[in-house]
Amino acid sequence: MKNNIAIKKIEKDADSICIGIWVKVGSALENKQEQGLSHFIEHMLFKGTKKRTYRQIAEQMDTLGGVINAFTSREFTCFYVKVWEKYFLEAWDILTDIVTQSVIDKNELEQERKVILEEINMTQDMPDEYVFDVFMENAYKFSHLGCSILGTKEKILNYTRENLIRFMQEYYKKENIIITMGGKHRDIPLSALEGEWLYKPNENISSEDYQVAFTPGKDLIERKLEQSNIILGWPTCPIGNERKYAVSLFNNIFGGSMSSHLFQHIREEKGLAYSIGSSASFFKKTGLNYIFAGTSKKNTQTLVDEIKREIEKIKENYISSEELHKAKVCSKGKMILGLEDTKNLMLKAGTDLIYFGRYIEPEEVIKKIEDVKMDNIVEIIDDIDMNKMHLTILGDIKDIKW
């Protein structure tokens, strides 16, 4: 920690370095008048600084043969570069420049407004993504957690430069910044972050927080499509709860792999879906367990019935000791393989610092996975209540029984 900026370097003998600047703000922290601003700002920081145009930013990174990118989530925003370690200082200069010295030019804002509107259009034309957005909006309709990361077209059309700057002054503060790096050991110059930022933080603006309220129900969004896209979800524990390890192992067994219950029964045995599985997303205040699937119009009700039947079966029969053992081996192996990539090292360090205030060593995670007992999995399964689920279906469907 230096000048309120948390820093974590994960050393690895690799030719690449990936370094990220994280800001503790995402769509869940936005109020109704700010929806989509975190993502809008993410775009605008690439559109020119006091000393670089947007073209120079792109050309200089291309010259290095590296990658500069960013993403906005529900609880944070991350800007990062990945380059050959010999070019680290050049890439770091570009990254700190866009985060601290972007001018938010009015003309560029108008151009990027159009780009974001096209991004919204693109997402709405991708049924498997759009159905999840609709699910979140309706299942969390009384919580900002469900708000679209991209925002609405109406909001994007009306935001001004002043709206973006005010939001940056609210959240782009040194105490909200985290730096994480994966790769060869290099000193990180902090002068750009420690100096004056172009838009000084306004300490008189109070940051938003969000409440969690999951709403069970059913949504049918009619659209002329070849397939029905389905999301069925229910709440689970937040990311700071130790039960998350059992939740993750449950999903590996139930729908997270090719040998899982859902994949084997619904795809391999019944041939009802090409895409079928389950997963979990963990947030600061809650978690979401969900099943995703896609099938033809004529098979939609059958697929929903079969999913329901698989839930009933696992609630009745639970899982075997062999399944739990295999899930543990799989989960540990996937994590270790993932951390071979310097970008994944940077991402793990960042999310760990945001949610836990410290880096959790892989050995500690492995022990947590190994410590999960059958009773822990049984508890997760017993908590599943089909009366407390939310079902969203996007497709050429007028009714569905649940």
Q: Per-10-residue mean pLDDT for the chain, 402 residues long?
A: 81 96 96 95 98 97 98 98 97 96 97 98 96 98 95 97 95 93 91 78 67 95 96 98 98 96 97 97 97 97 98 98 98 97 98 97 98 98 97 96 92
Nearest C-alpha neighbor of 27 from the set 134, 138, 149, 152: 149
Topology at the third CATH level for domain 217-395: Cytochrome Bc1 Complex; Chain A, domain 1 (3.30.830)
Sheet of 6-11, strand order: 6-11, 177-183, 16-23, 77-84, 67-72
Contact 119, 150 (CB under 8 A): yes
The tokens describing 397, both together, are: 């469907």
Contact 280, 238 (CB under 8 A): no
Q: Which residue has the tokens 């034309």?
A: 125
What are the DSSP E strand ranges found in 238-347?
276-282, 287-296
Contact 179, 187 (CB under 8 A): no
The pLDDT of residue 174 is 87
Q: What is the distance between the alpha carbons of residues 17 and 343, in angstroms, rounded to a whole number?
A: 8
| DSSP conformation class of 102 | B
Does 42 participate in catalysis according to the annotation? yes
Q: Which residues contact 349 (CB under 8 A, 6 or more apart)?
A: 8, 10, 180, 181, 182, 359
The pLDDT of residue 190 is 84
Name the catalytic one among 34, 42, 112, 306: 42
Where exactly are the structural domains of the chain? 6-194, 217-395
Coil vs helix vs strand at 290 = strand
How buried is residue 39: exposed, middle or buried, by Cβ count under 10 Å (0-12/13-18/19+)?
Answer: buried
Give pTM, 2 decimals.
0.94
The tokens describing 33, both together, are: 């008048």
Amino acid at 173: K
| DSSP conformation class of 242 | T
Coil vs helix vs strand at 275 = coil
Q: What is the distance between the alpha carbons of residues 71 and 251, in angstroms, rounded to a whole number?
A: 26
Contact 269, 170 (CB under 8 A): no
Q: Which residue has the tokens 């836990």?
A: 356
Radius of gyration, CA atoms only, the chain: 22
Contact 295, 303 (CB under 8 A): yes
CATH number of 6-194: 3.30.830.10
Q: Which residue has the tokens 């990539």?
A: 341
Q: What is the distance between the alpha carbons of residues 18 and 91, in angstroms, rounded to a whole number?
A: 10
Q: What are phi and psi of 46, to 5 degrees?
A: -95, 5
The pLDDT of residue 3 is 62
Q: Which residues contact 351 (CB under 8 A, 6 or more apart)?
A: 76
Angle between helices 37-44 and 161-171 (to 10 degrees): 100
